[in-house]
Amino acid sequence: MEKASDVAGTLATALMSYDLINQPRLNKGTAFPEDERDLFHLHGLLPPHIGTLEEQAERRIKVLRSYETDFERYAYLRDLQDTNETLFYSVLVNNLEELLPIVYTPTVGEGCQRFSEIWRRPRGLFLSYANKHRIRDILADSHFDQVRAIVVTDGERILGLGDQGAGGMGISIGKLALYVGCAGIHPEETLPILLDVGTNNQERLNDPLYMGWRHERVTGAEYDEFVDAFVVAVMERWPDVLLQWEDFAGYHAGPLLERYRDRLCTFNDDIQSTASVALATLLAAINVTGIPLTEQRVALLGAGSAGCGIVSLVLRAMIEAGASEAEARSRFYAIDRDGLLVDGMPGITTWQRPFVQSQAAVANWKTELPGKIGLFDVVANAHPTVLIGVSGQFGAFTEQAIRLMAQHVQQPVIFPLSNPTSRSEATLEQLVTWTEGRALVGTGSPFKPVTWNGVEIANNQTNNSYIFPGMGLGILAVGAKRVTDAMFMVAGKAVAAMSPTVTDPKGRLLPRVSQLRDVGIAVAKVVARQAQLDGVATFTDESGVDARIADYMWAPHYLRYVKGNSPG
């Protein structure tokens, strides 16, 4: 496929007949014109009608809407992507608000669980531990020469669903579909990868349809050596690649990011993009509440790598806004499985350390259970203005705790960010009801609008798709060699600047999903300029950033084909 900037709009290919129409990147289906049907021997293989991309998209969306379940729609779209990529992206780009919950969360979760059931054609790479000695050979295939963006997972912590083994490939495919759909990264430059190191999910291992390596998960030094061999091979094959880590278990996610962030251009979506969009949503909520960031009190339920990533970015934003580091830290209450993190507790991680409360700060707290400070206790004693959930536990935000929070805070800011929907800490309807319509809510998964006292309250899906596509576009457009923390700060602020609350306190916290392509461009521009400021960009002309981004973006359309060397 060509770049959007190609003037000729033609592509040379040596593929003929069945080989051409069975190549997803090149297939046009009924849109092959008469002369190309002559040239590539397609007569008889296609019905005589010659259509357009727009007509094909209209037909496909009509069929899609006829299915009864979102999983059926997900499977249909996956099949379309593996049949005709240009048509798939045309349908996606023009129906983002409708299709995001299907291509991405929450339906992608079921797609990962049932990945082996619906697998049809190869997409991406499965790098199994059993083939560790073949990694370089697998990556060397010329089909992948144009790759510039990789999303990799080992399938161990897919959303809130846990270990899905090889089914985790669905999350890498879904993320990269949004790189293309929301930011215009060229499909040929994207590569989903699954590091198949086995699975401890007995249901998958017992499933005769399961397509992954039937082995318990490799751990310890063997796991580390395998991942390192993968990273080294990637760096050799694509020195300028962007590598995104996705849905690794918490005990791997943070260490992997720290190990490799200074060796290649890489970031962890669950830790860093989640933090950026959460910050954006919080800043938008502040437009409504009027409470300055430096005066917020933040309770976090789920103090793993993702949760700590969120509060770490909010902490830095507080300090930038004028708070001292000590004062800012005192305003965070991080709750993990053993309760509120308090100085002296065993097992405190490096990520958690900045958010540990002192013994003195909680010495006079009254608690429900002796020896453990839970969410209700934090709400009762600290009166948080903001509550963020990344626990993966459905219903973890109890009615008792939320009603109590609303007694002390006029407009509580509440973010149940766990997904899919079956893992959300609370639903939008529950939070609206329990706070009598006063809560400002951002959720990880989509929920239908709720009506309270005759007023419709829209859901704000505080989703990483507001961040990572534009992040990728900005990084690739200026050839960034590294991903810096400052990029996620400016990305979050850029999304907040597009919030309807900037001009309307009654507006949505986040732009509509249908605007995600515009959001991706806005994020790309600030990320690209931040890369230049941080000294990590290869393209250093500040005045040329906007044009560079516009030139880089691809939009789905069909090319004219001529005979010649095949693109792969």
Annotated catalytic residue within 28, 74, 89, 104: 104
DSSP of 180-240: HHHH---GGGEEEEEEE-----HHHHH-TT--S--SPPP-HHHHHHHHHHHHHHHHHH-TT
How far is Cα 364 from Cα 335, in angstroms, rounded to an integer? 18
Q: Which amino acid is at 41?
A: H
Q: Kindly list the distances between the CA atom of residue 328 and the CA atoms of 180, 343, 379, 437, 495, in Å, as whole numbers in the listed order.
A: 38, 17, 18, 29, 23
Contacting residues for 303 by C-beta, under 8 A, at least 6 apart: 334, 335, 336, 341, 352, 355
How far is Cα 549 from Cα 262, in angstroms, rounded to an integer? 25
Q: Which two tokens stand for residue 88?
A: 């798939």
Q: Which two tokens stand for residue 181?
A: 């759909």
Q: Which amino acid is at 504?
A: D
Q: Are 103 and 174 a contacting pair, CB within 8 Å?
A: yes
How far is Cα 451 from Cα 429, in angstroms, rounded to an integer? 9
Q: Are 166 and 180 a contacting pair, CB within 8 Å?
A: no
Q: Which two tokens stand for residue 386?
A: 């903001």
CA-wise closest residue to 473 among 248, 148, 157? 148
How far is Cα 445 from Cα 161, in angstroms, rounded to an integer? 14
Q: Which two tokens stand for residue 536?
A: 């990590």
Phi, psi angles (nearest 5°) of residue 357: -80, 150
125-128 and 149-153: which strand pairing?
Answer: unpaired
Angle between helices 516-533 and 485-497 (to 10 degrees): 140
Q: Kindly list the distances between the CA atom of residue 408 and the CA atoms of 13, 150, 381, 403, in Å, as whole numbers in the listed order.
A: 67, 46, 10, 9
89 is catalytic: no
561 is catalytic: no
Annotated catalytic residue within 175, 466, 552, 558: 175
CA-wise closest residue to 554 among 238, 166, 90? 90
> How many other C-beta atoms can be found within 10 angstroms of the C-beta atom of residue 127?
23
DSSP of 36-67: HHHHTT-BTTB-S----HHHHHHHHHHHHHH-
Q: Which amino acid is at 436?
A: E
Residue 67, exposed/middle/buried by CB under 10 A (0-12, 13-18, 19+)?
A: middle
How far is Cα 413 from Cα 441, in angstroms, rounded to an integer? 6
The residue count of the chain comes to 568
Active site residues: 104, 175
